[in-house]
Structure 1
Amino acid sequence: MADRREDVDWSRLFHAEGPASDTPRRLAALLGDDAKAFVDGYTHLWSTLRREGKAWPATAPTALLVAELLDDPLLGPDDPSLPDAMLAYLYVVGVAADLGEGAAEVRARVEDRAGELRAWTDAHLSADADGRARMWQDGTGLGELVLDQAALACFDLVPALLRRVLPHLASERARRSTCAAAAVGSLARHPSAAAQRPVLQDRLTSMARAAESSYDLATILIAIGHLGGDTRPWLTDPHAGVRGCAALAPGLTGDDTAERVRLGPAGSPRAFGDSFGDMAPPLQFQFRPYQDLLTPEGFLRVDEAGRLTPGGAAS
């Protein structure tokens, strides 16, 4: 991990809290035994993503470090859930990177204004907190383009991240393999993974059939839907939460049964969440766009738009 941290010029990057020069030190604390520093490092990790699940300039290099942390024996030797959290982070990075065929257009805009973007970033890094806040309202649109550039950096990194995540589908820990399935569901939407998708759909479908908890099953079903797989066999599952997640698959647009199933969660999002008992709703519902569905109107908006993809909520 240390070598990778040194390969990045963190002084040229920023995250939600400001310049990212502190990011390598704070992430290194995830491998240490200082409890206070660990909590700070873990909290800081999530600051490298925008609250809306979008990328900051520091997100892509951070994601690469997180992918390496997955296999580091020093990561939470007494807490096996920590690699699960790293996989959840990579799921969100996959969502932020889900540019699809639009990546070429973003790349052209970024390259066309490369000099302006460098100047804006330099000014942002040298400004104080108030100055940085004003820059987002400067009317140039450069701030948002810098964030598009950050998403593009994540997009370019996705194939490497997917390679690091795939082995964790075979984890003996059910929750680990489920978190890996969620991450694969967003990362494998990358155009470079098109040829892999049929095999991954089959792999995730086998995992869904073997899942022993409604939480794991529902999480995997959302991932199957992301990759264009068939979730219709679970539209009649006895568990309401499982049925609701199966019905969200974009491939079920226009399916009468799926539309009827979605009316259940739309009528009572709380009941949908409560159906998972002591567990929170599936991993994807902790982040946007799925987080937005946990409202009375949320599931109905899926009906109206006919689709919900990890890269953006139904409009």
Structure 2
Amino acid sequence: MLDGLDDIGWRRLGHAYGAADDVPDLIRALRSADPAARDDALGTLYTTVFHQGSRYEASAYAVPFLLELLSDPATPDRPAILALVTSLAIGYDEAVLPDGFPIGSYRRAAEGGRDLLAAKPAPWSGEHQATKEYVEYTYVESLDAADQARLWAYVDVAVYDAARAGVPLFRHLLADPDPWVRTGAAYALAWFPEEAAGSVAALARATDVSQVTGAGAVEVATMLVASGLLNAAPDHRWLADPPAGGPVRRRRRTGTGAGPGGRPHDGRGADDLDRRPARRDGRPDGRRLAAVPQR
């Protein structure tokens, strides 16, 4: 598990706070037996390789190892890791809804960005903030607006394509025993239109299975919306009110009961569910973002 993680030149790669040499330990901590250690590692990854929706050079290198963790049923908190991978792929979904992810536009915008990224100097690394050198920031600021846009678009596409490699895994996870993994997998598939043919078929099969298993409303709705974002024709069987006692039941916005797949419900309605970890705008030590400019 995680073979090759230490073979990456993380110190040469940058994230929101400079050199990404802390990323390997953070990824390993996602398999820790200590829930607090896992939560801290996940939160720190959200503030480094995915800071306020921005992705960085190191982000694309982290994704394959996150996918490897997802592929192992023994990995704890897989729904949270799946949410991180999806966030890395697309940023915040509200920016691309209701139309889906415009990957064609991103690819066109990224033309020329590879050479600009290759010319970027290695990020600063060290323990003492007083001696920090803003080498990446200075380089990016030296570019005109058009080249900055090309650079960032190339970074975003590189991360997106790293996550796209996980599409076969996401389809496989539609049959996972954990309903939250199944729901997260359906959500992830929604953002890869270049893989639509296989994903729509996989989502259709999973939706049919849900009629037999009595999957929760959030899970089924996510599958249907994901199919729609991939331009699939609507399945009219699910557009009418279900019969009493059918597999999808209306649930009051408040109250308790069973959640998706029988998981205990916490009293929130479907509109309130958001399993993405809360945004964290700063590191635990309070340092300000400085290595690269915000977009």
Deviation of 1:182 after TM superposition, in Å, equals 1.1
2:50 corresponds to 1:49: yes
Q: Which residue of 2 aligns with 1:128?
A: 132
Deviation of 1:51 after TM superposition, in Å, equals 2.0
Q: Which residue of 2 aligns with 1:199?
A: 201
Residue 23 and residue 83 in structure 1: after superposition, are their counterparts in 2 closer, same or farther (change >3 A)? same
Work out the CA distance in 2 between the residues paired with 1:69 and 1:44.
Answer: 17
Work out the CA distance in 2 between the residues paired with 1:195 and 1:71.
Answer: 22
Q: Which residue of 2 aligns with 1:95?
A: 90
- Structure 2 runs not aligned, ≥5 long: 92-99, 126-130, 243-251, 260-266, 278-295
Deviation of 1:160 after TM superposition, in Å, equals 2.0
Q: So what's the TM-score if we normalise by structure 2? A: 0.66
Name whichever structure is richer in helix by fraction. 1
Q: Which residue of 1 aligns with 2:280?
A: none
Amino acid paired to 2:33:
D
Find the partner of 2:178 among 170, 173, 176.
173
Q: So what's the TM-score if we normalise by structure 1? A: 0.62
Q: Which residue of 1 aligns with 2:94?
A: none
Work out the CA distance in 2 between the residues paired with 1:198 and 1:109.
Answer: 33
Amino acid paired to 2:19:
P
Deviation of 1:72 after TM superposition, in Å, equals 3.2
CA deviations 1:186-243 (Å, max 9, x no partner) are 23x2x2x2442442342243256455322222222221212212346344447xxxxx
**How many corresponding residue pairs?**
241
Work out the CA distance in 2 between the residues paired with 1:120 and 1:204.
Answer: 44
2:271 corresponds to 1:281: yes
Identity rate, percent: 24
CA contact (8 A) 1:179 1:283 kept: no
2:48 corresponds to 1:58: no
Q: Which residue of 1 aligns with 2:153?
A: 148
Work out the CA distance in 2 between the residues paired with 1:17 and 1:279.
Answer: 37
Deviation of 1:170 after TM superposition, in Å, equals 0.9
Work out the CA distance in 1 between the residues paired with 2:133 and 2:211.
Answer: 51
Deviation of 1:37 after TM superposition, in Å, equals 3.2
Equivalence map 1:1-315=2 (5 Å): 1-47=1-47, 48-52=49-53, 54-72=54-72, 75-76=75-76, 82-96=77-91, 98-111=101-114, 114=115, 116-122=116-122, 124-125=123-124, 128=132, 140-141=144-145, 142-187=147-192, 189=193, 191=194, 193-207=195-209, 209=211, 211-231=214-234, 233=236, 234-237=238-241, 277-278=267-268, 281=271
CA deviations 1:46-100 (Å, max 9, x no partner) are 2222323x42222222111111001335522xxxxx1111222222234249453
TM-align CA RMSD? 3.6
